[in-house]
């Protein structure tokens, strides 16, 4: 892409990895809550919150990575045109 933007290029990969990790942790945590049963402090319905938060963080990190990638592409096209 452009010179001096290696950190942004690496950050897109980092955000994509974080997206998949957050989704995995959310799913695993909710399965553990479902299997482990519930306590009065943390009922089984808390597992649904874990899934929901995992999905929300997944999309948040994925969109962040795509926005950075889009901005880098716009920057490279502006540099070519100038």
Residue-wise pLDDT for 39-56, tens only, equals 777 677 788 888 899 999
DSSP 40: S
Q: How far apart are CA 70 and CA 82, in angstroms?
A: 18
Tens of pLDDT, residues 5-20 = 888 899 999 999 999 9
pTM above 0.75, yes or no: yes
Burial code (b: 16+ CB inside 10 Å, e: under 16) for 26-62 equals bbebbeebbeeeeeeeeeeeebeebbebbeebbeebb
| Helix, strand or coil, per DSSP, at residue 31 | helix
What's the Cα-to-Cα distance from 58 to each of 1, 25, 51, rounded to whole Å? 26, 10, 10
Query: What pLDDT score does 2 carry?
Result: 52
Average per-residue pLDDT for the chain: 87
């Amino acid at each position: 892409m452009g010179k001096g933007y290696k950190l942004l290029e690496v950050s897109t990969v980092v955000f994509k990895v974080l997206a998949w990790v957050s989704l995995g942790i959310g799913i695993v945590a909710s399965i553990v809550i479902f299997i482990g049963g519930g306590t009065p402090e943390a009922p089984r319905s808390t597992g649904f919150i874990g899934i929901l938060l995992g999905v929300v963080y997944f999309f948040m990190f994925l969109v962040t990575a795509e926005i950075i990638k889009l901005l880098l592409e716009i920057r490279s096209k502006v540099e070519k045109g100038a």
